[in-house]
Amino acid sequence: MHFDSCFQTKTRSCISKCIDYLKGLILLPSRRNLRKMAIYSSKRSDNQALSHFLSNSPWPHKNLLRSVRTKAIETIGPNGVIILDESGMKKSGNSSVGVSRQYCGNLGKVDNCQVGVFLAYFKGGKRTLIDFRLYLPENWVEDKERCLKAKIPPEKIRFQTKYELGLEMIDNAINEEIPFSYVTMDGFYGENPTLLTELENRSITFVADIASNTQVYLEEPVVGIPEKKGSRGRLPTIPKVLNISPIKVSSLSSLRDKWKLIKVRKTERGHKKVYFKALQVWRRQNELPCEKPLWLLISKDAKTGEVKHSLCNAAENTSLEKLAEMQSSRYWVERAFQDAKQNCGMDEYMVRSWNAWHHHMAMVMLAMLILISYQMKFRKLHNQVSIPAVIEIMKFHNPLKVMNATQLAMKINQDNEMRVRARLSRLKGS
């Protein structure tokens, strides 16, 4: 793959540092920081050069991402699924761009972390991340000095909700004419009715998980101004549903009728099976029903009994098997995050600035694409090779550097010096 044109500067040094960084992300087994990359994957063993490439080099990450998306669709295949989700990376201190005490899904609690909103692309078991946005909490946007210190571009110092960031990426996928079948998302995004309405306005099919206490209408609602009751008080002016009351979706999952046992995907131990049903409902927005009906998808895991509710605006003639498959497809974004973190060091960066964070994430997605591209090449040769096996093959052909005695001694001394400085820093802050 040739990505030279993605960089503003085509100097040999810039491309060389890109290759060094990719080697570090893919070939190092753990703790893929710049110092380890410089020692084991860089020709010059110069972490300052890699730091410059990540933090200060002017190459635009958007150009690289556009090429990654194009190649990803070509590799995985068109008309796949776009999955919207977020991932939190735990961080200490308060200087790293966007870091704040906020909910971190990876930890399942509020903690000091950075949160990125991501798009994944999936088809036929093949998946990769294709776009991202860094979420800036309001306390960051309100502190202009802090933002400028983190080198956030002035035009980016504005608050956007995670829903807005997700919609921005979906719009970008539409503008780039990425051929996808539908968008799926978890309950955090699925419970935002404005986001679902915006997707409907764009004629995008979606599958959105919702909470069990979400209320829907089972019959077509009639909206109007209710009649005045009694002779006292003002005439009613606020529209309301006149013919039916909303019902919680949890009460529908407790009903025993209309369930069908469906295989939704292959697993290492056979097939994942769910009891599944789909009902036509009307969702609510601003206390009123939406005009068009859609599907309420309810699945119950055949082994664990876990119940899942989703809203889906697929066509009325969509089969139950297809709807069940669509509801289960969000599983693949977790696999994509797992690939990104275990195989490409997505969460092992040690950078603070806006530019560095975005450059790192773009390089991670390029690394993911390289791995899946090589895996597909092996499959064309009728060899079923896993991503970890691809990495082992790459290590064989691109071995990491081996240190001599002098270099090892220097590394040990530097490690000792860094531990002493870190200890003094902690003592000074306590």
Same domain, 250 and 278: yes
347 and 263 belong to one structural domain: no
Q: Which of 271, 288, 321 marks a domain boundary?
A: 321
pLDDT at position 205, please? 98
Tell me: do 67 and 215 sit in the same domain. no
* 248 inside domain: yes
Mean pLDDT of the chain: 89
The reply to whether 376 and 316 lie within a common domain is no
How far is the C-alpha of 343 from the C-alpha of 180, rounded, in Å? 26
- Which element (helix H / strand E) includes 132? strand 126-134
**Same-domain status, 27 and 96:** yes
Q: Do 347 and 312 sit in the same domain of this protein?
A: no
98 Cβ contact list (under 8 Å, min separation 6): 114, 115, 134, 135, 136, 137, 140, 150, 357
Per-residue confidence (pLDDT) for residue 2, from 0 to 100: 55
The domain total for the chain is 2
Residue 231 lies in a domain: no
Q: Are residues 286 and 399 in the same domain?
A: no
- At how many degrees (to 10) do helices 12-27 and 47-55 cross? 100
pLDDT, residue 45, reads 58
| Same domain membership, residue 260 and residue 181 | no
Residues 304 and 352 in one domain: no
Range of the domain at 265: 206-225+237-321
Contact 202, 167 (CB under 8 A): no
- The model's pLDDT over 8-33, given as tens digits with 9 standing for 90+, comes to 555 566 788 888 899 999 999 888 88
pTM passes above 0.95: no
Give the tens place of pLDDT for each residue, 347-402: 988 888 999 999 999 999 999 999 999 999 988 887 788 999 999 999 998 888 77
Report yes or no on 329 lying in a domain: no
Q: Residue 422: inside a domain, yes or no?
A: no
- Residues 10, 128, single domain; the answer is yes
